Structure 1
Amino acid sequence: MAENTHPLALVRAAAGMTGVDLAREICAAAARRGLRSGVDKQRVRKWEVAGVKPDADSQEYIAEVFGIPLELVDVKAWPSWLPDAGMTPLGPASTVPALREALRASMERSRRFVLSAISGTALITLAGTWAAADAWLEVADRTQGKPIGEDLVVLLEETSARLTSVATQERQHTAPLIVAHLATVTDLIADGRYSSALGLRLHALAAHLSQTVAWHRFDHGLHGEAGRFWIAGLHSAHASGDRDMGAAILSDLAYQASWRDDPRTAARILEHAQSRTQHPAARSLLQLRLARALAAQGERSATLRALNAAEHLLNTPTPDPVPAWCSWLSAADLAVDSGRCLLDLGDTSQAHRLIAEGQALLPPSRDKTRGVFLAYRAQGHLIRREPEAAAADALEALELAERIGAPRCVQLVHDLVPAFAPYRAAEGVPELLHAVV
């Protein structure tokens, strides 16, 4: 039997729904409006198999079922407004399907199945849904399944913390173990019997592990997988009501969009992310990433406003502890990212000064970030027509990235190579060009 690849069928399956389930949810959406829908599983099948187009009311109900903002529904464009295939819509009971979709996608890569990155439209839709919806009461006492005790959850938490905090150069070896932990946590959430308190901790752990795996995939250029793991983490954080973690993951998706030369999508995602998080450090990071997206679009005034906001927020005192996901943010990051923004805006002298300042402030423990900063500084030297200094920074960044296993930083250096073409005779350039071959 051929697989049903209609977008509605894929979205429904990703949400763990049968045709009967979808029909029932559509009827419930109509009932909430005091109306009646005659949709049944046969009608759903006609939409998915026979190409029948749902009427406007039914499309509105479908959007509600999958948590899609009504302003994104284009009745005439059915079914193109539905989320990308493979991206589980945010909604009730969506956490486990989202986690399993990410894990499945990762396993399919080993069978040479290539995943594309999720479209900007779908990511903006997801961010809008997250910003508009309160958390579903998904984390509650579970009375069926195999019992899960405190000791097991503590073991998973402690082991996961150790795996995700090893030295930078060792992290390239821990990725399979982290994925295995995430798969175990997913199975426990899906099939275990536990208290609501343990359920909250399992969802928090799933969000943290998903985010960690996503960054590993992103650093290796596996953008389709990275996006799906970040989205799985968003589902986990949302189900437990952790708005700060949700904003963190959305900001990661925005960072990925900027990296993939889609700053407009990044800015739209960050607008939604900022709407539901309050801690000054968290908001500072979101403003800093927004500045990067705005600078890439040449929006000088807006970029400078975002940078000023990021600096002000970073220095704002608060009695609340800094969320773990942004505890690394420092004056070094603010300086370098500000410099990177100014490079995009053409202010090369000020940009170079800020990048050098941030490089000096960075602690030795953040080797991967140091490699990225060195690549940025090399770009600044090239813009200033200082090939010798640029080659020295680029070569240092390359050697550091290869030692710690940071392919994203390696790619940054490779991307600079064409700009060295006019300076092949300059000191250090031949050595750099030989090293990148």
Structure 2
Amino acid sequence: MGVLLVGDKRPNVQLNSWFVRSGWSKGELARQVNRRARQTGAHHVSTDTSRVRRWLDGEQPREPIPRILSDLFSERFGCVVSVEDLGLPPQPGPPQGSGVDLPWAGPQTLRLIGELSRSDLMLNRRGYLSGSLVMSAGPALLEPMQRWLATPACASARVSSQEHRARGGRLSEPELELLEATTQMFRRWDAQCGGGLRRKAVVGQLHEVTELLQEPHPPRVSRRLFRIAAELSHLAGWMTYDMGLHPSAQRYFVLALHAAKEARDRPLGAMVLSDMARQMTHLGRPEDALELVHLAQYGSRDTAGARTRSMLYALEARAHANAGEVNRCRRAVGMAEDVFTEAGSSEDPDWIQFFTEGELYGEIAHSYRDLARTSGRGPAHASLAEPVMQRAVRYFRDDVTQQRTYALNLVGMATVHLLQGDGSQAASCLGEAAGTAGRIRSERVNSRLRQVTEEALRRHGTLPEVRELPERLAGALPEAPGLSEPARRRHAG
């Protein structure tokens, strides 16, 4: 592995400081670097104790080592530790045109939200936006998001009260309250019906709010409108993600974070980052998910309520589980449970009210389920997941306002039964989930149903109740694409 040699080397004081506080030995840090390098495809990296010693003595490693060190120390300390914080030269920035490296300024944020929502409304063809945008991950995503903490909100998007009085355009308090109530209504529709039913209405409302923000307002009203725009853009991103359109969902999330910055609402920004982390976990990038969660935790550490902090710990556990990190996952689960006991209700904003005890059960159960797949101790962690997942299923069974969550937990319960070798119980859960999925519009639910059904067919295709599943899915999801052709042939056989 190459290094950048410099004359008159001096010890790297900053790297030494982070290293000493981490509690790692040189050998442990070398092992961590090698593990992360393999996970990210950098198979040429091979680090040992002597190499770590030379870094501490002032030798400057070449890419991807600086980024890997930044990732490892950020994960260790639960905050963003940049390459520069480690006393290493700044690395080249992410490529332009990725769709996420955007100016942190109010007017540009409004223009970009307006352009995205207008294109979405006018073209409105499935996959169009995803075809015109590029999905960002790794440093190309994480580095722009870290600027959420450092960049001040833009004052140029606001006008003084005196200028406002001269130009007019005042929004009344009842009008602002109606905009906020409409956003809350959209959020409940999404939870009850899935992202595919009311998404266009949310995008339309977002476009209207961006137009309102083009008018002059007092700073207090402007910040409030930016908060509404952030919530709507976040919700549009969540519903787009629920439809399986990942690049455009990510773009909505990024713009929501920018709008939350203008609103000076760090807890809301943390919520946006949490859903970006969910998306990264869904796409099989737990390291990126963990970075986003840590960024959310650090950025909202003095402002977020207990319910939000509990949710972030639960998502941290999920990311650790997907990376196969058992002890860190269990520690984050414990923190999520402990902090949730402090959660109230009246002081929480509407966007975090969804995170109930049932949601906590579901996140913990999915973390244990994921550990069963990644840790090499499948039966033990599946047995931990089963009772918690059962509690999550029971919690949402009769809640007509959370049918998507109920369906997803049923599918999760089916995967636990498959890990335990019980195809019959898995088929029962999948059949019930199919009935629920037929009453909502969520491609995320539908795709997970199809994936787990294929897994059930592979493992237990001789059971009659499993062989019946493709027909049950076809009847419940008439507009959804069916099982893959290999699965059809297995079923027919």
TM-score (norm 2): 0.68
User: How has the CA–CA distance of structure 1 residues 105 and 302 changed in structure 2, closer, same or farther, with 3 Å as cutoff?
Assistant: farther
Match of 1:328 among 354, 369, 374: 354
Alignment deviations for residues 192-223 of structure 1 (CA, whole Å, 9 cap, x no partner): 12222221221111011111111110011001
Q: Is the 8 A contact 2:242 2:443 kept in 1?
A: yes
Alignment deviations for residues 115-167 of structure 1 (CA, whole Å, 9 cap, x no partner): 33222323211331112344343563364777142154344334333333337
Name the SS for the 1:328 alignment partner: coil
Question: Are residues 1:344 and 2:373 paired?
Answer: no
Q: Is the 8 A contact 2:94 2:143 kept in 1?
A: no
Tell me the equivalent position of 2:205: 181
Name the SS for the 1:147 alignment partner: coil
In 1, Cα distance between equivalents of 2:308 and 2:156: 25
Q: Is the 8 A contact 2:322 2:370 kept in 1?
A: yes
Alignment deviations for residues 364-416 of structure 1 (CA, whole Å, 9 cap, x no partner): 12100001000000001111111111011112112212321111011111111
Tell me the equivalent position of 1:213: 236
User: How has the CA–CA distance of structure 1 residues 235 and 302 changed in structure 2, closer, same or farther, with 3 Å as cutoff?
Assistant: same
User: How has the CA–CA distance of structure 1 residues 381 and 318 changed in structure 2, closer, same or farther, with 3 Å as cutoff?
Assistant: closer
User: How has the CA–CA distance of structure 1 residues 306 and 76 changed in structure 2, closer, same or farther, with 3 Å as cutoff?
Assistant: closer
Identity across matched positions, percent? 24
Q: Is the 8 A contact 1:257 1:263 kept in 2?
A: yes
Tell me the equivalent position of 2:104: 91
Pairs within 5 Å for 1:22-41: none
In 2, Cα distance between equivalents of 1:341 and 1:184: 39
Question: Are residues 1:424 and 2:461 paired?
Answer: yes
Question: Are residues 1:223 and 2:236 paired?
Answer: no
Alignment deviations for residues 314-353 of structure 1 (CA, whole Å, 9 cap, x no partner): 1125697123222111222222221211122221111111
Letter in 2 for 1:81: P
**Greater alpha carbon shift after TM alignment, 106-115 vs 254-263:** 106-115
Q: Is the 8 A contact 1:139 1:196 kept in 2?
A: no
Match of 1:274 among 297, 301, 324: 297
Q: Is the 8 A contact 1:98 1:231 kept in 2?
A: no
In 2, Cα distance between equivalents of 1:97 and 1:71: 32
Q: Is the 8 A contact 2:293 2:312 kept in 1?
A: yes
**Greater alpha carbon shift after TM alignment, 115-124 vs 372-381:** 115-124
Question: Are residues 1:122 and 2:129 paired?
Answer: no
Question: Are residues 1:102 and 2:116 paired?
Answer: yes
Q: Is the 8 A contact 2:83 2:91 kept in 1?
A: no
Question: Are residues 1:371 and 2:407 paired?
Answer: yes
User: How has the CA–CA distance of structure 1 residues 361 and 251 changed in structure 2, closer, same or farther, with 3 Å as cutoff?
Assistant: same
Count of aligned pairs between the two proteins? 367
Question: Are residues 1:131 and 2:149 paired?
Answer: yes
User: How has the CA–CA distance of structure 1 residues 433 and 228 changed in structure 2, closer, same or farther, with 3 Å as cutoff?
Assistant: same
In 1, Cα distance between equivalents of 2:181 and 2:368: 41
In 2, Cα distance between equivalents of 1:105 and 1:118: 20
In 1, Cα distance between equivalents of 2:153 and 2:220: 16
Q: Is the 8 A contact 2:194 2:442 kept in 1?
A: no
RMSD: 2.7
Match of 2:169 among 118, 125, 147: 147
Q: Is the 8 A contact 1:123 1:269 kept in 2?
A: no
Alignment deviations for residues 247-279 of structure 1 (CA, whole Å, 9 cap, x no partner): 000111011000110010000111111012231
User: How has the CA–CA distance of structure 1 residues 311 and 105 changed in structure 2, closer, same or farther, with 3 Å as cutoff?
Assistant: farther
Letter in 2 for 1:357: R
Pairs within 5 Å for 1:343-422: 343-346=369-372, 347-362=381-396, 364=399, 365-420=401-456, 421-422=458-459
Match of 1:308 among 334, 342, 346: 334
Off by >4 Å, runs of 4+ in structure 1:
74-78, 317-320
Name the SS for the 1:194 alignment partner: coil
**Greater alpha carbon shift after TM alignment, 114-123 vs 376-385:** 114-123
Tell me the equivalent position of 1:55: none
Tell me the equivalent position of 1:168: 192
In 2, Cα distance between equivalents of 1:339 and 1:271: 21
Report the CA distance between 1:85 and its aligned residue.
2.9
Tell me the equivalent position of 1:51: none
Name the SS for the 1:149 alignment partner: coil
TM-score (norm 1): 0.77
Q: Is the 8 A contact 1:175 1:213 kept in 2?
A: yes
**Greater alpha carbon shift after TM alignment, 121-130 vs 409-418:** 121-130
In 2, Cα distance between equivalents of 1:366 and 1:317: 20
In 2, Cα distance between equivalents of 1:163 and 1:258: 25
Name the SS for the 1:165 alignment partner: helix
Q: Is the 8 A contact 1:255 1:266 kept in 2?
A: yes
Report the CA distance between 1:300 and its aligned residue.
0.5
User: How has the CA–CA distance of structure 1 residues 435 and 202 changed in structure 2, closer, same or farther, with 3 Å as cutoff?
Assistant: same
Q: Any stretches of 5+ residues in structure 1 without a counterpart?
A: 1-68
Q: Is the 8 A contact 2:84 2:90 kept in 1?
A: no
Tell me the equivalent position of 1:13: none
In 1, Cα distance between equivalents of 2:198 and 2:282: 25
Q: Is the 8 A contact 1:230 1:253 kept in 2?
A: yes
Report the CA distance between 1:355 and its aligned residue.
0.4
Name the SS for the 1:322 alignment partner: coil
Q: Is the 8 A contact 1:138 1:240 kept in 2?
A: no
Report the CA distance between 1:81 and its aligned residue.
2.9
Q: Any stretches of 5+ residues in structure 2 without a counterpart?
A: 1-81, 373-380, 474-481, 483-493
Q: Is the 8 A contact 1:139 1:240 kept in 2?
A: no
In 1, Cα distance between equivalents of 2:96 and 2:119: 17
Letter in 2 for 1:174: R
Letter in 1 for 2:138: G
